[in-house]
Amino acid sequence: MTTTMSIATIVRTLRIDRNLSLRDLAALSGVTASYLSRIENDIKPNITINVLSSLCRALKADPKLFLDDDLQKVLVQPIDFKDFSYYKRFITKDEN
């Protein structure tokens, strides 16, 4: 198995996908927001297995995602809008 995405990219992608701020993720994972920021900006790329485990639990992510290139490709697949009717249900209108 090879990986093409950095831990920083995976954590940021998952956090944004789950609509979490750095503070939200910090509260869920027990990792400080400043440390998460350093992780996401690749300033502190060598994180411990305990921190990675906490992030996986908080993000509801399989730890294999950080190790498997094929799983990473699924994470960043572009959306195909050919069948837009399927995607309509995910779009909400603000009624205000």
Which pLDDT score is estimated for 83?
52
**How many angstroms separate the CA atoms of 83 and 81, rounded?**
5
Q: Which residue has the higher pLDDT, 77 or 12?
A: 12
> Which pTM value belongs to this model?
0.68
For 23, the token pair is 């503070």
Name the average pLDDT for the chain: 76
Question: Largest Cα–Cα distance in the chain?
Answer: 49
**How many angstroms separate the CA atoms of 1 and 69, rounded?**
7
Give CB contacts under 8 A, 24+ apart, made by 69-74. Answer: 69/1, 69/2, 69/3, 69/4, 72/3, 72/4, 72/5, 72/10
**Domain 7-88 in CATH: superfamily?**
lambda repressor-like DNA-binding domains (1.10.260.40)
With a cut of 80, say whether residue 5 has pLDDT above it. no
Residues in the chain: 96
Q: Give the pLDDT band of residue 45 (cuts 50, 70, 90).
A: low
Q: Give the pLDDT band of residue 39 (cuts 50, 70, 90).
A: very high
How do the domains of the chain map onto residue ranges? 7-88
Q: What percent of the chain has pLDDT over 70?
A: 66
User: Poorest-confidence range of 12-16, 39-43, 46-50, 72-76?
Assistant: 72-76
